[in-house]
């Protein structure tokens, strides 16, 4: 907006300098178009605008009043602010340094983990989201001082050229000072906040997307079926909690052992463990990865080896187990148990069926994100909730074994209907037909339409109920089976014959003959090939171990199998069987440039890695998946 388009008197007549200053501004800013030369004595001209009643007692005050008004006008111009914002985004750098000692009390005795950002500079348009989130947290915790570094003359020239419409004026010197004052005092403080807020919002969204991708992969980890599992929640002072579950996830027995300091009741703990393993035919031991995990792993590996047990163990991410143990869901499931005895049951069940167990826990507490407590919490909650819903509906739910927590995430169901469904199941024993869902209190036609395809019934009246085929497509599915001269009772053994029939006759022709679209036909075909199929079965199985590895055993160049635990912007953390996860830096994922680690890796992947370096004092392990890394 140019001065010649502003009614100056109307807009600024109430300011301290009054309309005297306004009329002076009109002259200075060439309200009557371009002024190349001012005729007369400028100081003498200023005397015309003195007015003690308006607080204008000297020529300096008259001039300053005019400059203040101009500065405010400049700062209120949208084009100026946009130009300044774009200048900073394109050319400015963010600079972080160690905060001064005066902040000591505000740090609340927290450990300074921001050493890498004590002398850090990066262009705003180049900074990585995780770097910005780390700097923001460091600043919030008073460990870091953060400023923006920019070309000040450059941004002042940009503002001047954006606002003023003429090339030269005898008042250029005064107007230049005014632009600098407007920028420093009025524009920059808010623009700096705008820029940092924009970058932080973008970093939030990126971090949430990473978290969501990791959560999806974690929830879709393949279940380990047909095993009796012993879950261990390791600990020192409070002992290690044990829980045995059967092949269906039913809790059988639990206790507490004290094999580690300060009690050191190792022999007694071994006897208890051996008794539970043999008494219940335990095939697999799940050890939480928290405090005392390493010591417990050594204990279990030794027990397996010394007693030649047909048993394996694996390390389980126990993040969120304590949250679950104190939750209303856990209290309802195990009202007779103390909270400390519930977390180990969750650890065991995470192996049996990760999805069914992890849906009971706040997704933020599962521990596969980056700076999840710093990002927009509402956006994070919505995104993670959507991921859980997507995973539950993708896998499907066995209506006769599903918990309320699992049913709550099925499309079309809510907590009330889920609870009623469980009560109805308890009343009739088990569902044998999807049509029985309509008898559940609160289940309307719309809810049934949304949820029916995701609720499966094994060994029911209609074999199609054990597929993801929606009841509204049963007619088409039966007609397809008739064309193949098969009945629904034969799909478990001969469902693959349907694919041969469709392939030989042609998808388009078969779809037209049945009277459905080709996508619907392909969906029906996929379900008839593998009724009751769990898509998680195609995922890589977790690594089961029977022996233990220590950091001291690691050597540069050693090759090991590992499980990807978390994927972040700068790489991935990989469990290679020692207490500390190794870091697979983004530069070591592939020879070619990798923009996003998620393009090549996902949580749960089993990969072969090479040890690049081991730093025992700092508990750091560097890994590579590049063949013959340098």
pLDDT value at position 289? 87
Is there a domain that residue 196 lies in?
no
pLDDT at residue 407 greater than cutoff 80: yes
**88 token code pair:** 């900073």
Which of the listed residues 319, 352, 385 is the one where a domain comes to its end? 352
**Based on the domain organization, do 530 and 556 belong to the same domain?**
no
Which of the listed residues 119, 148, 177 is the one where a domain comes to its end? 148
List phi, psi (to 5°) of 567: -115, 130
Q: pLDDT band for 32, please (50, 70, 90 cuts).
A: very low
Q: What is the mean pLDDT of residues 9-20?
A: 37
Q: pLDDT band for 238, please (50, 70, 90 cuts).
A: very high
**Based on the domain organization, do 56 and 131 belong to the same domain?**
no
Is there a domain that residue 84 lies in?
no
**Based on the domain organization, do 415 and 512 belong to the same domain?**
yes
**Based on the domain organization, do 496 and 567 belong to the same domain?**
no
pLDDT at residue 133 greater than cutoff 70: yes
**Based on the domain organization, do 434 and 526 belong to the same domain?**
yes
Average pLDDT, the chain: 87
Is there a domain that residue 498 lies in?
yes
The larger pLDDT score, comparing residue 257 to residue 108, is at 257
Is there a domain that residue 290 lies in?
yes
- Name the percent of the chain lying above pLDDT 70: 90
Domain of 522, CATH number, reads 1.10.150.310
Q: Which domain holds residue 487?
A: 393-537
Euclidean distance between CA atoms 217 and 546, whole angstroms: 25
Is there a domain that residue 435 lies in?
yes
Q: b vs e for 421-457, b when ≥16 Cβ sit within 10 Å of the residue's Cβ?
A: bbebbeeeeebeebebbeebeebeeebbebbbbbbbb
**Based on the domain organization, do 506 and 533 belong to the same domain?**
yes
**531 token code pair:** 């009724």
Overall number of domains in the chain: 5
Domain of 235, CATH number, reads 3.30.420.140
Is there a domain that residue 344 lies in?
yes
Q: pLDDT band for 534, please (50, 70, 90 cuts).
A: confident
**Based on the domain organization, do 292 and 333 belong to the same domain?**
yes
**Based on the domain organization, do 410 and 522 belong to the same domain?**
yes
**Based on the domain organization, do 491 and 449 belong to the same domain?**
yes
Is there a domain that residue 91 lies in?
no
pLDDT value at position 353? 92
pLDDT at residue 478 greater than cutoff 90: yes
> Residue 26 in 3-state DSSP?
helix
The residues, any chain, with a CB within 8 Å of residue 384's CB and separated by 6 or more, are 211, 212, 215, 363, 364
**Based on the domain organization, do 472 and 599 belong to the same domain?**
no
Q: pLDDT band for 12, please (50, 70, 90 cuts).
A: very low
Is there a domain that residue 273 lies in?
yes
**Based on the domain organization, do 462 and 508 belong to the same domain?**
yes
Of 582, 559, 578, the C-alpha closest to 298 is 578
Domain of 569, CATH number, reads 2.40.50.140
- Name the percent of the chain lying above pLDDT 90: 65
pLDDT value at position 5? 32
Give the predicted TM-score (pTM) of the model.
Answer: 0.81
Q: What is the mean pLDDT of residues 51-58?
A: 79
> Residue 145 in 3-state DSSP?
strand
**Based on the domain organization, do 526 and 558 belong to the same domain?**
no
């Amino acid at each position: 907006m140019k001065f010649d388009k502003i009614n100056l008197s109307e807009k600024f007549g109430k300011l301290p300098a009054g309309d005297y200053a306004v009329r002076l501004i009109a002259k200075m800013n060439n309200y009557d178009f371009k002024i190349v030369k001012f005729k007369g004595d400028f100081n003498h001209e200023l005397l015309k605008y003195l007015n003690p009643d308006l607080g204008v007692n000297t020529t300096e005050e008259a001039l300053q009043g005019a400059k203040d008004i101009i500065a405010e006008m400049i700062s209120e111009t949208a084009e100026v602010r946009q130009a300044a914002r774009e200048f900073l985004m394109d050319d400015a750098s963010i600079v972080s340094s160690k905060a001064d000692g005066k902040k000591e009390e505000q740090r609340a005795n927290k450990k300074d983990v921001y050493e890498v950002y004590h002398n850090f500079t990066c262009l705003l348009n180049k900074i990585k989201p995780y770097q910005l989130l780390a700097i923001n947290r460091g600043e919030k915790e008073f460990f870091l001082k953060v400023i923006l570094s920019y070309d000040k003359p450059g941004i002042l020239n940009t503002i001047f050229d954006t606002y003023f419409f003429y090339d030269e004026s005898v008042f250029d010197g005064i107007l230049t000072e005014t632009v600098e004052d407007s920028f420093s005092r009025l524009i920059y403080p808010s623009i700096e906040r705008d820029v940092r807020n924009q970058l932080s919002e973008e970093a939030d969204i990126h971090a949430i997307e990473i978290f969501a991708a990791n959560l999806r992969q974690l929830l879709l980890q393949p279940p380990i079926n047909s095993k009796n599992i012993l879950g261990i929640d390791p600990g020192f002072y409070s002992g290690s909690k044990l829980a045995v579950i059967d092949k269906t996830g039913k809790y059988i027995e639990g206790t507490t052992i004290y094999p580690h300091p300060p009690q050191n009741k190792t022999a007694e703990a071994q006897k208890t463990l051996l008794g539970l393993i043999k008494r219940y035919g335990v095939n697999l031991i799940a050890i939480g990865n928290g405090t005392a995990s390493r010591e417990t792993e050594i204990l279990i590996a030794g027990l397996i080896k010394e007693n030649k047990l047909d048993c394996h163990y694996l390390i389980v991410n126990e993040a969120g187990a304590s949250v679950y143990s104190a939750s209303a869901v856990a209290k309802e499931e195990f009202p007779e148990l103390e909270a400390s005895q519930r977390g180990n049951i969750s650890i065991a069940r995470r192996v049996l069926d990760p999805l069914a167990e992890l849906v009971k826990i706040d997704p933020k507490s599962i521990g596969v994100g980056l700076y999840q407590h710093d990002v927009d919490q509402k956006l994070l909650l919505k995104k993670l909730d959507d991921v859980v819903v997507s995973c539950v509906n993708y896998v499907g739910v066995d209506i006769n074994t599903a918990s309320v927590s699992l049913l709550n995430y099925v499309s079309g169901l809510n907590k009330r209907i889920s609870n009623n469904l469980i009560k109805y199941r308890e009343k009739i024993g088990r569902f044998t037909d999807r049509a029985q869902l309509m008898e559940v209190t609160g289940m309307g036609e719309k809810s049934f339409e949304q949820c029916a395809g995701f609720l499966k019934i094994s060994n029911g009246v209609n074999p199609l109920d054990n597929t993801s085929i929606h009841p509204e497509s049963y007619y088409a599915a039966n007609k397809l089976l008739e064309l193949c001269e098969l009945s629904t009772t034969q799909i478990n053994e001969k469902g693959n014959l349907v694919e041969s029939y469709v392939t030989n006759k042609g998808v388009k022709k078969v779809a037209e003959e049945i009277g459905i679209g080709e996508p619907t036909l392909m969906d029906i075909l996929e379900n008839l090939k593998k009724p009751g199929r769990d898509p998680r079965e195609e995922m890589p199985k977790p690594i089961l171990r029977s022996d233990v590895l220590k950091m001291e055993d690691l050597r540069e160049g050693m090759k090991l199998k590992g499980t990807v635990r978390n994927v972040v912007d700068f790489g991935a953390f990989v469990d290679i069987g020692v207490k500390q996860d190794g870091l697979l830096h983004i530069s070591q994922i592939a020879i070619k440039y990798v923009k996003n680690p998620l393009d090549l890796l996902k949580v749960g992947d089993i990969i072969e890695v090479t040890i690049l370096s081991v730093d025992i004092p700092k508990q750091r392990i560097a890994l590579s998946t590049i063949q013959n890394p340098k």
